[in-house]
């Protein structure tokens, strides 16, 4: 039984197109927006499309740092047994800039009887979409990401601090909202973010420096399909984190990671 209605043809086409891909990241986003899952080898991909992959229900019952929250009822109340995760159709992509080449794909969790796990965020959103459809309505969305670029090392007091420009190492200290100089300093990173988003077919638009040292904003083009818009947003968040890390800095999506 394949409750996600995904076709193995997607996996076969991907493997044929990218013969050098060695592994694929399977990503399930929890209620905190944290990507959790597994890395599988190339030889396992077709099997995942045919049979799904085992993951415990407790993966959806964790706090932001990955500790189980027993009160969710998803840990010991269920015996912490495995459910089945299935691919989300159309999300199998090449990871931009990966070496060796690696793919990534979203997955969603189902109970063993094939019913959607109620606490999976994708299923939560789908229920809302279905309720709107019952009323003759359709949800649309245009999202934006606000994030901080931070130094990997904390300052002498133990506080996080803005990352220096990746272009030339200049320190970031001022707010400088809408500063073109501030954008220029991070241009090598932003170029990679745009390239990765294009490779993933995510329609991102303008980038600005926001109203805090080290803070930036990136907008995503309007979609009349809210599920696709949400998928784009979560994938883009991962892209920003990946590309920032490749540049030796940290992307943080907290509202205010610094006290000043």
Report the C-alpha gap between 19 and 17 in whole angstroms.
6
CATH of the domain at 206: 3.30.590.10
Quote the number of domains for the chain. Answer: 2
Structural domain for 177, as ranges? 144-252
Q: Give residue 105's pLDDT.
A: 98
Domain boundary among 113, 134, 155: 134
Report the C-alpha gap between 75 and 49 in whole angstroms.
26
pLDDT surpasses 90 at 86: yes
161 and 179 assigned to the same domain: yes
pLDDT surpasses 80 at 2: yes
85 and 174 assigned to the same domain: no
Q: Give residue 157's pLDDT.
A: 87
201 and 91 assigned to the same domain: no
Q: Give residue 173's pLDDT.
A: 85
SS3 call for 142: coil
Q: What share of the chain is helix, strand, coil (3-state, %, to 5)?
A: 30, 25, 45
What is the percent of the chain with per-residue pLDDT over 90, rounded to a whole number?
A: 80
Task: Give me the residue label for tokens 């990671």.
Answer: 257
> Which pair of tokens denotes residue 89?
């159709």
Q: Give residue 74's pLDDT.
A: 77
Report the C-alpha gap between 128 and 124 in whole angstroms.
7
pLDDT surpasses 80 at 18: yes
Chain segment 48-79, per-residue pLDDT in tens = 999 999 999 889 888 888 888 777 777 777 66
55 and 36 assigned to the same domain: yes
Report the C-alpha gap between 4 and 76 in whole angstroms.
27
CB atoms under 10 Å from CB of 66, counted, come to 11
In a domain, 243, yes or no: yes
CB atoms under 10 Å from CB of 234, counted, come to 18
What are the residues whose beta carbons fall under 8 Å from the beta carbon of 157, sequence distance 6 or more? none
129 and 148 assigned to the same domain: no
68 and 19 assigned to the same domain: yes
Residue 9 burial class via C-beta count within 10 angstroms: exposed 0-12, middle 13-18, buried 19 and up: exposed
| Predicted TM-score (pTM) of this structure | 0.92
In a domain, 139, yes or no: no
In a domain, 198, yes or no: yes
Report the C-alpha gap between 163 and 225 in whole angstroms.
35
Q: Can you tell me the mean pLDDT for 179-202?
A: 96
């Amino acid at each position: 039984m394949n409750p996600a209605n995904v076709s193995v043809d997607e996996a076969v086409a991907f493997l044929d197109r990218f013969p050098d891909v060695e592994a694929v990241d399977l990503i399930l986003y929890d209620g905190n927006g944290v990507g959790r899952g597994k890395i599988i080898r190339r030889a396992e991909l077709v099997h995942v499309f045919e049979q799904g992959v085992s993951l415990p229900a407790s993966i959806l019952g964790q706090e932001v740092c990955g500790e189980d929250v027993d009160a969710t009822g998803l840990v010991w109340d269920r015996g912490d047994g495995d459910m089945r995760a299935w691919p989300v159709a159309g999300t199998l992509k090449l990871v931009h800039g990966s070496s060796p080449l690696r793919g990534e794909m979203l997955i969603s969790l189902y109970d063993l009887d094939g019913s959607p796990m109620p606490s999976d965020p994708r299923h939560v959103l789908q229920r809302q979409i279905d309720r709107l459809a019952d009323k003759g309505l359709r949800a649309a969305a245009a999202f934006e990401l606000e994030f901080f670029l931070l130094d990997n090392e904390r300052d002498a007091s133990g506080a996080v601090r803005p990352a220096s420009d990746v272009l030339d190492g200049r320190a970031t200290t001022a707010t400088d909202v809408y500063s073109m100089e501030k954008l220029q300093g991070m241009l090598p990173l932003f170029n990679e973010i745009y390239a990765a988003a294009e490779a993933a077919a995510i329609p991102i638009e303008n980038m600005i420096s926001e109203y805090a040292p080290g803070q930036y904003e990136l907008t995503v083009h309007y979609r009349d399909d809210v599920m696709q818009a949400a998928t784009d947003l979560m994938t883009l968040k991962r892209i920003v984190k990946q590309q920032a890390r490749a540049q030796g800095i940290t992307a943080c999506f907290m509202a205010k990671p610094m006290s000043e």
